Chains A and B, each alone.
Chain A
Amino acid sequence: MTKNITAGAADRRRAASSDLLGPNSEIGRKLKQYYDELVSDHVPDRFAQLLSQLEQAEPAQKKD
């Protein structure tokens, strides 16, 4: 019981310090959920192809 209250107070202190978008904030959690969903989206092949094309278009590569 006492432990719970202490933990709760610590959580609030942490949130109050600077982390207004941390795990204690609903906005913070949603923001990460929104973004993580975007990051985990399948990357279309066009990007790997683009980089290969850029690589091939390079002037003769010199090794040193």
Chain B
Amino acid sequence: MVAVSQGFKTDLLGSIPSLRAFAVSLTQNADKADDLVQETLVKAWDKHESFQPGTNLKAWLFTILRNEFYSQMRKRGREVQDSDGIMTARLAVHPAQHGQLDLKDFRGALEQLPEDQREAIILIGASGFSYEEAAEICGCAVGTIKSRVSRARARLQEILKISGEDEFGPDAISAQVTGSNAA
């Protein structure tokens, strides 16, 4: 049994804010999230020898946290899974006013996504992981992550009634650019 190094402990401490953010994103509940982070830290401590120094500690910890989350969900009979019924009804989202999207509305919309889509869009769009890293964390193929992110994004746009924010920009400007290119 190799003792846990000070560096490892310091790095663990440093990752707590990210772990909590990811845990809240998964559980949508602050108390459950902190319990999950606690479990994650204990597990990480116990199996610190399986971490390879020089590799991505954050990804390693996120993997542990995620596995813990799903194993707890399985034990509880997946009570959280029914995101399409109850939650949708409770969290009616108002269309954005003045084109400004409220953070509260966004949170509500995020909560309505199935877990697999929510975690994918969080890992890619917020936690700063690459598609490859996210695939590793979730134990699935890169293509699966891509499709989950894309479905999550489409669903969020639909819930929040965002339109015309596509990568192609407003038609008028596209036409203008096309025109200037042609000239």
Contacts and interface: CB of A to CB of B under 8 A. Distances in A.
Given A9-B177, A21-B124, A31-B121, A47 B110 contact: no
Interface residues of A, number: 39
Majority-rule SS of B interface residues: helix
A5 B153 CA distance: 27
Contacts of A31: 106, 110, 121-122, 125-126
Q: What secondary structure prevails in chain A residues at the interface with B?
A: helix
Interface of B: 1, 3-4, 9, 12-13, 16-18, 20-21, 24-25, 34, 37-38, 41-42, 45, 101, 103, 106-107, 110, 121-122, 124-127, 149-150, 153, 156-157, 160, 162, 165, 167-169, 173-174, 176-177, 180
Interface of A: 2, 5, 8-9, 12, 15-16, 20-21, 24-28, 30-41, 43-44, 46-48, 50-51, 54-55, 58-59, 61-62
